[in-house]
């Protein structure tokens, strides 16, 4: 009988502990979570070589779910070469977090590709520093604009792709590059 009593007591004690510990969650409103990794904004800054005003292409989606993106796609000038730099921001943070820094820190895992529609007379070329493996990162580039034309200009940020695939270092995004797409934004560009 003594054993039974001990078991009963122990069990009751355990039960009480469980009930109290489990019910101690407070019922306060939950804490809001702002997505930390979200990229809300892509800025493409194009500065004409030899001087001139910088042109800003912007894709901004503060909800990050595609509902109401803001897209700014100004016209470019024919027969001009632009010095370009892409910038990824999380504008939900205050001040805005510059994700480009992260991309550069993890340069071997990232590459930005610029895809130009055939109808658009523009040629992007990687400039800027290479990663530790000697491959381009793609954050900095130059964009040579030819005649007046119009077409899509797509910016794709690939994470953990194979940067050694032939053509990748020239900016060809073949399926062999693989990896996963972190950013994919298309601007409808007009060259005047």
Partner 1 sequence: MYQKSILLYLFIFFSFVIQAQDCELAISGKVIDIHDNSPLFGAVVQLVGLNKGVYTDEYGLYKIEGICEGEVQLKVSHPSCEPKTKSIYLKENRQIHFKLEHHLEELNEVLLKGKLYNNESNSSISNQIKTQELEKFSNASLGDALKSISGVSSLNTGNSIVKPIIQGLHSSRVLVINDNVRLHDQQWGVDHAPNVDINSAANITVIKGASALKYGGDAIGGTIVIEPQKAPIKDTVMGKTILNGSSNGRGGSISTSLIKAKSSGFNYRFQGSLKRLGDLRAPDYQLTNTGQRENNISLGIGLNKIDYGIDFSYRLTNSEIGILRASHIGNARDLVNSINRQEPFFIEDFSYTIDSPQQEVTHQIYKLETFKKLKNLGELSLQYSFQQNNRLEFDIRRGGRGDTPAMDMELKTHTLLTQLEWTSLEGFDSNFGLEFNAQNNFANPNTGVRRLIPDYNMYTAGIFATTAYKVSEGWDLDAGVRYDFNTIDADKFYITSRWENLGYDQLFPEFEIGEDGNQILTNPQFDYHNISATVGASYTFKNDFKLIGNLSSASRAPNPSELFSDGLHHSISSIELGDLQLNSEQSFKAGVGFQGVVEKFGFNIQPYINYIEDFIVLEPNGIETTIRGAFPVYEYRQTNARLYGIDVSANYSFDNLELSSNFAYVNGRDVEQNEALIHMPPFNVSNTITYSKKEWNNFYISLNSQLVTQQNAFPDNNFRTDIVNTTTGEFEEVEVDVSSTPEAYHLLNFSSGLDFDFDKTKLSINVMINNVLNTNYRDYLNRLRFYADEVGTNAMLQLKLNY
Helix (H, G, I), strand (E, B) or coil at 176: helix
Size of the site for partner 1 (CB under 8 A): 68
Contact pattern for partner 1 over residues 95 through 134, marking x by CB under 8 A: ----x--x--xx------x-xxxx-x--------------
| Residue closer to partner 1 (CB basis): 22 or 53 | 22
Contact pattern for partner 1 over residues 128 through 167, marking x by CB under 8 A: -----------------------xxxx-x--xx-x-----
| Residue closer to partner 1 (CB basis): 140 or 160 | 160
Q: Which residues inside 5-24 make contact with partner 1, applying CB under 8 A?
A: 7-8, 10-11, 14-15, 18-19, 22
Task: Give the DSSP H/E element, type plus range, for residue 12.
Answer: helix 2-22
> DSSP letters along 82-122, please?
EEEEEEEEETTSSSPEEHHHHHHHTGGGEEEEEEE-TTS-E
How far from chain centre, in Å, is Cα 122?
23
| Residue closer to partner 1 (CB basis): 53 or 118 | 118
How many other CB atoms sit within 10 Å of the CB of residue 142?
A: 17
Tokens 């130059």 belong to which residue?
142
Phi, psi of 12, rounded to the nearest 5 degrees: -60, -45
- In angstroms, the CA 163 to CA 117 distance is 22
Interacting residues with partner 1 (CB under 8 A) = 3-4, 7-8, 10-11, 14-15, 18-19, 22, 25, 27, 29-37, 39-42, 59, 61-69, 92, 99, 102, 105-106, 113, 115-118, 120, 151-154, 156, 159-160, 162, 172-175, 178-186
């Amino acid at each position: 009988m003594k054993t039974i009593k001990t078991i009963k007591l122990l069990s009751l004690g355990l039960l009480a502990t469980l009930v109290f510990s489990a019910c101690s969650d407070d019922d306060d409103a939950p804490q809001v979570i702002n997505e930390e990794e979200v990229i809300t904004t892509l800025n493409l800054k194009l500065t004409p070589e030899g001087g001139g005003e910088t042109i800003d292409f912007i894709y901004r989606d503060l909800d990050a779910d595609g509902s109401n993106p803001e897209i700014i796609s100004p016209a470019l000038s024919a027969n001009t070469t632009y010095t370009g730099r892409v910038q990824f921001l999380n504008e939900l943070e205050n001040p805005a977090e510059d994700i480009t820094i992260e991309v550069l820190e993890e340069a071997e895992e990232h590459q930005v590709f610029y895809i130009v529609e055939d109808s658009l007379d523009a040629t992007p070329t990687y400039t800027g520093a290479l990663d530790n493996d000697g491959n381009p990162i793609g954050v900095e580039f130059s964009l040579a604009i030819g005649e007046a034309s119009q077409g899509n200009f797509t910016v794709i940020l690939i994470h953990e792709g194979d940067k050694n695939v032939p053509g990748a270092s020239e900016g060809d995004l073949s399926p062999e590059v693989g990896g996963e797409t972190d950013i994919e934004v298309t601007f409808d560009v007009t060259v005047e």
